[in-house]
Amino acid sequence: MTATELGLPALRTATTRDPARPADARLVDSFGRVATDLRISLTDRCNLRCHYCMPAEGLDWMPREEQLTDDELIRLVTIAVRDLGVEELRFTGGEPLLRRGLEDLVAASAALEPRPDISLTTNGVGLARRAEALAAAGVNRLNVSLDTLRPDRFATITRRDRFSDVLAGMRAARDAGLSPVKINTVLLRGMNDDEAVDLLRFALDEGFELRFIEQMPLDAQHGWERTEMVTAGEIMAALSEEFTLTPDPAHRGAAPAERWVVDGGPTMVGIIASVTRPFCGACDRTRLTSDGQVRSCLFARTETDLRAMLRGGSTDTEIADSWRDAMWGKLAGHGIDDPGFLQPDRPMSAIGG
């Protein structure tokens, strides 16, 4: 049986350089984009079971020996920052707080020159007792996933009764100086789609910045239906009934969220409309999975195996050039609207946000 028949993503290893790729040390692609933002999945494991991410029974977790070691991870991060022009690091999961030694990984990354901007995306469970240590290690800011303000709904969506822990974690992060703490919210039709206004009021009261994210086809069950997705247009319509929203005058650049000033400011609200208003043309992201695979896009169907190069004795120069090749082949967009679109084999928990 082949890897394709098993449903595994196609892998690429070191290749001969495409002669069309320019002699540029950065992570450039054939459409003129430059990747300066590295998203790093530290683990595929999670302590929640959100409906739009994985089944109630969870998934078969990656064996520990397949996961990058701390030394391997830092070596790749060093190559990215030192040799490839990466300026921002975002640690994700699964749930990154489940990675042992997270603070040490952050500190080692913060010690690099030039010093990268470091952020974290977390579900907030366990954050309350670690927020100060993460800030001291070098985390500049973080995002916390929170889809509802009702404990009963939280338990339904996540299949875990941890609502109070998440709130405590968000407040601890704010108090530790990791501001503005951003809330990532996915509205689910028929489940929490009536809470947009309440969530924004909560963010205003608490000093958080709310960002709505359109539900994307990244669930392990492959059950996503576009018709069931709450769109950016619907979210804007609901918010505009209660708040005055004016476009953020700052240039958006490669930021995934469109932002609006709420009631004259200073608080902002953002919407990441990956499906209905894709921003692929300005994408500046490259992705590294916890088992050392480079992905040029969240929805990529191919990966480049840097772990094999690490463990096979490749030099930093060889690894860097393979990474450049991977990004040079990045497609123009994710193609969700293409009739032939295929959802990635890896679910979101194994790719990283």
Identify the CA nearest to 319 among candidates 90, 114, 83, 86. 83
Predicted local distance difference test score (pLDDT) of residue 300: 85
Give the model confidence (pLDDT) of 132-188 as tens digits: 999 999 999 999 999 999 999 999 999 999 999 999 999 999 999 998 899 999 999
Average the pLDDT over each of 12-16, 70-74, 102-106 and give the range with the smallest value: 12-16
Average the pLDDT over each of 71-75, 105-109, 254-258 and give the range with the smallest value: 254-258
3 pLDDT band (50/70/90 cuts)?
Answer: very low
Average pLDDT over residues 129-133: 98
- With 70 as the cut, is the pLDDT of residue 83 above it? yes
Predicted local distance difference test score (pLDDT) of residue 337: 66
Predicted local distance difference test score (pLDDT) of residue 50: 85
- With 70 as the cut, is the pLDDT of residue 243 above it? yes
Average pLDDT over residues 47-76: 88
Average pLDDT over residues 286-305: 92
Average pLDDT over residues 224-235: 86
Report which residue type is found at 345. Answer: D
Predicted local distance difference test score (pLDDT) of residue 130: 98
Predicted local distance difference test score (pLDDT) of residue 62: 85
Return phi, psi of residue 76, to 5°. Answer: -65, -40
Average pLDDT over residues 269-290: 93
Please give the DSSP secondary-structure letter assigned to residue 85. Answer: -
Q: Percent of the chain having pLDDT more than 90? A: 73
Average the pLDDT over each of 1-10, 93-102, 217-226, 250-259 and give the range with the smallest value: 1-10
Average pLDDT for the chain: 90
Residues 6+ apart with CB under 8 A from 131: 169, 172, 173, 175, 176, 178
Q: Are strands 302-305 and 141-145 parallel, antiparallel or unpaired?
A: unpaired
Give the model confidence (pLDDT) of 309-326 as tens digits: 999 999 999 999 999 999
**How many CA atoms lie less than 13 Å away from 140 in the CB half-sphere?**
11
Q: Which two tokens stand for residue 140?
A: 């500049």
Predicted local distance difference test score (pLDDT) of residue 160: 95
Give the model confidence (pLDDT) of 178-223 as tens digits: 988 999 999 999 999 999 999 999 999 999 999 999 987 655 566 6
For residues 13 and 293, what is the distance between their CA atoms, to the nearest angstrom?
Answer: 10
Say what the alpha-carbon torsion angle 316, 317, 323, 329 is, to the nearest 10 degrees. -170
Report which residue type is found at 26. Answer: R
- CA max distance for the chain: 60
